[in-house]
Structure 1
Amino acid sequence: MENIKACIFNIQKYSIHDGPGIRTVVFFKSCPLKCLWCSNPESQNSIQQITWDKSKCLKCLRCVHNCEHNAISLNNNLIEIDSRKCVSCFRCVKSCPKKSLIIEGKYLTLSEVMEDIIKDNVFYQESNGGVTLSGGEVLEQYEFATELLKLLKENNIHTAIETTGYTSNEIFSDFIKSVDLLLFDVKHYDREKHFKTTNVYNDVIIENLRIAVEKDKDVIIRIPVIPTINSSLEDAKGFCTLLKSIGATKINLLPFHQFGQKKYELLNKYYSFKNIEQLHEEDLLEYQKIFIENGFNCYF
């Protein structure tokens, strides 16, 4: 099993925002949701991708000439990569003199990931920290992630996952056995609005959240508060109604930000929230108040 691989797009060290203490966050590529505001658009695709940074590009066209599959072209002064023709040989990346082409995602074995994680074991122990599996959606590569969780538990490392909960009930129930903390994203309480903004319905998400709560797992609900999507006071009340019926108690509000905007440019991908102003904690105090009045432990 140590030779099985997963597509990982980042391993972030010394994180203090994705669970208790100092943590290492392993970001898994691939996500079944296509949230319009996604701050990690490079995580949505399940395979390796090439991003292009136009600020570094010389327009020397070495990438175009080195591609044997005619997958790269220059159109309207933009380098474009046809994913249907690209075979991931990465000759283009290797030929770029200014490193304006970057590979997003790397296939790693369990041994390679654990080797990187275990280097910081002393920090986990001293800070009561651990490892968080995130994404994308970690459940898209659940076989690898399940084995990784087992190895972490064998090494007495606290485990957390950040998840959309979008998978079958059977997979979810088995997967969370080795998880100490679930950071469970809930994008919308309304079924149709959830589909409109994420491209999936929330039925199985709600079912899996209910399973986690009924199994008495440590669950923190994370709500990304997005302008025009779920940011009204009526939306806050809608979330309260849903989450009270499930028995959730802890709510972490995540104000909308624009940290991922540059990534859409690198992927040459349209971003519908480009001109939307960020939200700050002070913008959501009344929103937070509704959760607190409904008995939730609600914080930013």
Structure 2
Amino acid sequence: MENGITFNIQKFSIHDGPGIRTTVFFKGCPLRCEWCSNPESQIKNVQILHDQSKCSYCLSCVVTCPNGAITHEDNKIIINEDKCVGCLTCVNSCPNRALSYEGDYQTIEEIVDICMQDIDFYEESGGGVTISGGEGMSQPDFLKKLIAELKKNSVHVAIETTGYVKKETFEELARELDLLLFDVKHYDREKHYNGTKVYNDLIVENLKWAIDNGIEVLPRIPVIPDFNDSLEDAEGLAKLLVEVGAKKVQLLPFHQFGEKKYELLNRNYKYKNKKALYPEELEEYQKIFLDKGLNCFF
């Protein structure tokens, strides 16, 4: 039976599409956004996390790892993700539970069973299931089968996508979905690359195709300090959305929900201690979209 890899299934979500929803987080993403709130989603493998506050540095993890993927350097436990196979020997041998992991291989049947536990809430609220990530389309064959099984139960299926997906794959999957929550991060391809490590050409192409083909799309802009939060940026983004035929856009102010995860993954976080943004601080920013005739909301 085919497995996909997820890192969370969150029930009673109310910010990932209409109504009450179950959000299924897929592991794997082609972007490397500097502000990513789910850094554990980027690699499509099981990942080991280390909590220094719980660690006694007994080094049992270093000794027991069968692949030599763990070392002790500068009073830090270092996990080599290229060597780690996700066997969880280290996690199971840690006496202080300083090690944990992200990533579970699940079957379509297992995911559908969890999602269908809340079918009554979907029906009453106009909700459903949202595929997130990472990139929701990062496991296309598995996703296509999952959508088909959910549709057998008349479940509304949305997806959160970066849009950075091979054109043929994107078009095939988008046709099967009820709603695309489509991230639009920057209008300038070079600045987009600087913040995400990919250019935005394919993203814009896929966004326009989806709108032109009558698929329900909600463009969403994560408003990030020092990346796309200036009024000039708002002008450029609004112009782009008008050009591709968008009618509405949701603004997602920067938050710090993912900061702790970088520490657990032993990764530097460019936005550490950066102040969160709030809707009341972005009224001028929002007005630029409204003035362009876009239904802009938070």
What range describes the TM-score normalised by the shorter chain of this pair? over 0.9
SS of the equivalent of 1:79 reads strand
Q: CA deviation at 1:130?
A: 0.2
Structure 1 letter corresponding to 2:94 = C
Aligned equivalents of 1:74, 1:173: Cα separation in 2 = 46
Structure 1 letter corresponding to 2:168 = E
Aligned equivalents of 1:127, 1:112: Cα separation in 2 = 24
Identity %: 56
State the match for 1:292 in structure 2: 290
- Once the two structures are overlaid, the 10-residue window that deviates more, 144-153 or 68-77, is 68-77
State the match for 1:64 in structure 2: 62
Please state if 1:179 is matched with 2:154: no
Aligned equivalents of 1:100, 1:128: Cα separation in 2 = 41
State the match for 2:40 in structure 1: 42
State the match for 2:90 in structure 1: 92
Map Cα deviations across residues 234-255 of structure 1 (whole Å, 9 max, x no partner). 1100011111011101111011
Aligned equivalents of 1:172, 1:154: Cα separation in 2 = 22
Q: Is the 8 A contact 2:45 2:86 kept in 1?
A: no
Structure 1 letter corresponding to 2:158 = A
Q: CA deviation at 1:87?
A: 2.7
Please state if 1:272 is matched with 2:267: no
State the match for 1:221 in structure 2: 219
Aligned equivalents of 2:149, 2:169: Cα separation in 1 = 19
Aligned equivalents of 2:138, 2:68: Cα separation in 1 = 31
Please state if 1:246 is matched with 2:244: yes
State the match for 1:235 in structure 2: 233
Give the TM-score, by structure 1 length.
0.97
Q: How does 1:147-186 map to 2 (within 5 A)?
A: 147-186=145-184
- Once the two structures are overlaid, the 10-residue window that deviates more, 94-103 or 27-36, is 94-103
State the match for 1:207 in structure 2: 205
Aligned equivalents of 1:42, 1:8: Cα separation in 2 = 10
Q: Is the 8 A contact 1:31 1:140 kept in 2?
A: yes
SS of the equivalent of 1:139 reads coil
Give the TM-score, by structure 2 length.
0.98
Map Cα deviations across residues 241-285 of structure 1 (whole Å, 9 max, x no partner). 111011101111011111100000000001111132111111101
Q: Is the 8 A contact 1:158 1:180 kept in 2?
A: yes
State the match for 1:110 in structure 2: 108
Q: Is the 8 A contact 1:153 1:178 kept in 2?
A: no
Aligned equivalents of 1:92, 1:279: Cα separation in 2 = 38
Structure 1 letter corresponding to 2:288 = I
